Amino acid sequence: MAVRDISLDHPLPDNLDAERFVLGAIMSSDNAFLQVAGTLTADDFSLEKHRRIFLRMTELHERGEKIDRVTLANELMKQGQLQSVDGLSYLVSLDDGLPQLHNVESYVAIVKEKALLRLIITVSQDTINRCMGCEEDPKQILGAVEDAFIRIGDTQSRSALASPAQIVTEYEGGINAFLDASKRIKGISTGFLKFDEMTGGLREGELFILAARPAMGKTALALNIAQHVACNPKNPKAVAVFSLEMSKESLLTRIICASARVDQQRFRAGYLNQDERRSLQDALYRIVESPLFLDDTAGTNLMDVHSKLRRLQAEQDLGLVIVDYLQLMQGRGRFENRVQEISSLSRGFKLMSKELRVPFLVLSQLSRAPETRTGDHRPMLSDLRESGSIEQDADMVAFIFREEVYRPDKESLKGLAELILAKQRNGPTGRVKLAFLNRYTKFENLASDTGEDDAPFE
């Protein structure tokens, strides 16, 4: 089968004048190289001779030597490349037409833009060739494409260094808002007062890993937070919940019963009194009116999540994304082991949260290590299952711990839970005590945190 090369129909995007002006500006001023080097690489130039010239400029700069026509020609000559770049005459011509007051940053932006277009075309062309060849599993091809575009997005999202003046100027509200803590942008409230005090809430662009052993209440806590954010009467925000473990109906049942404080077993059995039915109807009405979105698609991957969130964000004020849970996801593409696959997923969620400027709450399993330890069974960062990069990528890592699971005979532990904040990039670590209402699979603040007289234990 003949594979059509789309690049033959149209020339690849480039701007040779911009490339020449970048190189010419560097030769006219050593300072120009410093403006260019942090943004451009040799591969960003479309012509091979321009790539070679830039590489030799880089070598001169790294040795602390001056970059001009003579030193550059000598460096190219030593590498046997002077004739391949059309000789000294071409080096002399690089600044022909270069304005006296040139704008290097604009030239660099043009070169970078064309390089990005060529890179996208290259990945697309490779994808077409592999598809036309019909020799690979389509899922493997799709995974390779997903990884390639995530890497492209990662390299393009690197911002330049910013001065304090730039940071304050660009800050919403200016210097007064920057210095006034009451006016500074705060994160999304989880509804758990002590946790919000320690963290400032869930902030945009941050990855929050919530981990625990099975049956500790990971999904329950995540859904409690989702319900609080989506149903907040003062400032409701859209919440997207991706569940790879439970159906949409089961998730909605949990949310409604927790909100109405109705025993799930009674609800499933149908043994409800009039007050419970009324509470369920009220809870369902509030949730139906809220911007809460549930997805239980089997085999969901990063590309699926990304495309669905982009569509949702175009329509709603997206405030939070929840994924339940990390180890149930499958990465697209080939991985040497499961650790690499989980690392790819956690890194993908971190990049997605930064791009969409939305906090991600991703649930994770723990290894069996807490159960094998004697004495204190509280989880540690080293217990995160299948990948050390989860800890590395996360801005916050918290564990759910309920000692009653390990000591069911001790009545005083019933209904007590701890949210252990084991890592926080921008704040303290510590423990937050919560109440766990097992009948409703619901976490609540302790009475001492809310100022109420009676504890919410039942």
Specify if 145 maps to a domain.
Answer: no
pLDDT at 265 over 80: no
291-314: burial string, b at 16+ Cβ within 10 Å, e else = bbbbbbeeebbbbbbbebbeebbe
Query: Which pLDDT value is given to residue 155?
Result: 60
Look at the block and give the residue holding tokens 């989860």: 390
Q: Give the structural domain span for 21.
A: 10-135
Query: Which pLDDT value is given to residue 320?
Result: 92
Query: Comparing C-alpha atoms, which of 142, 125, 111 is closest to residue 39?
Result: 111
> Which residues are CB-neighbours of 46 under 8 A, at least 6 positions away?
12, 14, 16, 19, 114, 115, 118
Query: Which pLDDT value is given to residue 455?
Result: 38
Q: What is the pLDDT of residues 404-439, one digit of tens each?
A: 877 877 877 787 888 989 888 888 888 888 988 877
Query: Which pLDDT value is given to residue 150?
Result: 66
Q: Could you tell me which residue, 101 or 105, shows the higher pLDDT?
A: 105
Specify if 457 maps to a domain.
Answer: no
- 77 with 64, same domain: the answer is yes
pLDDT level of residue 2 (50, 70, 90 thresholds): very low
Q: Could you tell me which residue, 200 or 161, shows the higher pLDDT?
A: 200
- 95 with 220, same domain: the answer is no
pLDDT level of residue 458 (50, 70, 90 thresholds): very low
- 160 with 308, same domain: the answer is no
- 122 with 215, same domain: the answer is no
Region 28-33: what's the mean pLDDT?
76
- 14 with 58, same domain: the answer is yes
Q: What is the pLDDT of residues 293-309, one digit of tens each?
A: 988 887 777 777 887 88
Name the least confident of 74-83, 139-148, 181-190. Answer: 181-190
Query: Which pLDDT value is given to residue 454?
Result: 39
- 122 with 199, same domain: the answer is no
- 99 with 167, same domain: the answer is no
Specify if 144 maps to a domain.
Answer: no
In this prediction the pTM is: 0.64
pLDDT at 360 over 90: yes
- 391 with 247, same domain: the answer is yes
| Total of domains in the chain | 3
Specify if 142 maps to a domain.
Answer: no
pLDDT level of residue 67 (50, 70, 90 thresholds): confident
pLDDT level of residue 59 (50, 70, 90 thresholds): confident
pLDDT level of residue 359 (50, 70, 90 thresholds): very high
- 175 with 270, same domain: the answer is no
